[in-house]
Amino acid sequence: MSALPSTPVMTRDIALLFCRVCSWAYQAWVTHKYLFDQNDKKTDTLQKAPAFTSRLSTITQEYSLQQIAKLHDPAVQKTDLNVSVDFVVRFGEWGAKEAEIKAIGERLLQLWGHLKPARNKLLAHNDLKALLANEALGGFPEGEDDLYFAALQELVNEVHARWVDGGPYPFDDLAINDVFEFLNVLEGSQ
């Protein structure tokens, strides 16, 4: 078994990976959100195949929550490193911005706390008691998903500015357009 270096080192490549995995989590979230939660055309679109779209809703919701969960893995697990919020906060060598970065990390951690029970009992495990109870175990309170991704965007922008090219790294909003295009296709089909 190989040991970790004494202190992991943040690099440009790791920063880019972090930006990409955060953007992917955002894309998974907005895809579910705009397809199911904020779809005012459900009758003309999703209700054309209700059994399938109900299943798809569960799949996309669980997948997006799992992508968020992975962002909150510890930076170090035994001899492995994770590209996570913890990694960039702990090993980003933030200098004068350290307090600001830690504050963003704490906000994300606090918001993540709403989802952690679902991750621990249903997303990462098939917890018998939780499955038998068949109750919701976690989720963002109304509007806090937006706060989470706003804070994540702040962190990603700081990571990108510090380690890549001095500028922000906006999340890919084209996923929202893809949802609207898909709904338009469904709406137009017979």
**pLDDT by residue (tens digit) across 18-47?**
999 999 999 999 999 999 999 999 999 999
Taking the C-alpha atoms of residue 34 and residue 25, their distance in angstroms, rounded to an integer, is 14
pTM score, two decimals?
A: 0.90
pLDDT at 138 over 80: no
Beta strands in the chain (DSSP E): 76-77, 80-81
Rg (CA), the chain: 19
**The tokens of 12 are what?**
């440009």
- On whether the CB atoms of residues 107 and 151 are closer than 8 A, the answer is yes
Does residue 120 surpass a pLDDT of 70? no
Q: Which two tokens stand for residue 61?
A: 């919701």
Element at 101 (helix H, strand E)? helix 98-112
d(CA 19, CA 13): 10
Alpha carbons 31 and 34: distance in angstroms, whole number = 6
**What is the chain's mean pLDDT, rounded?**
88
Q: What share of the chain is helix, strand, coil (3-state, %, to 5)?
A: 65, 0, 30
What are the tens digits of pLDDT across the range 101-119? 999 999 999 887 777 766 6
Q: How confident is the model at residue 155 (pLDDT cuts 50, 70, 90)?
A: very high
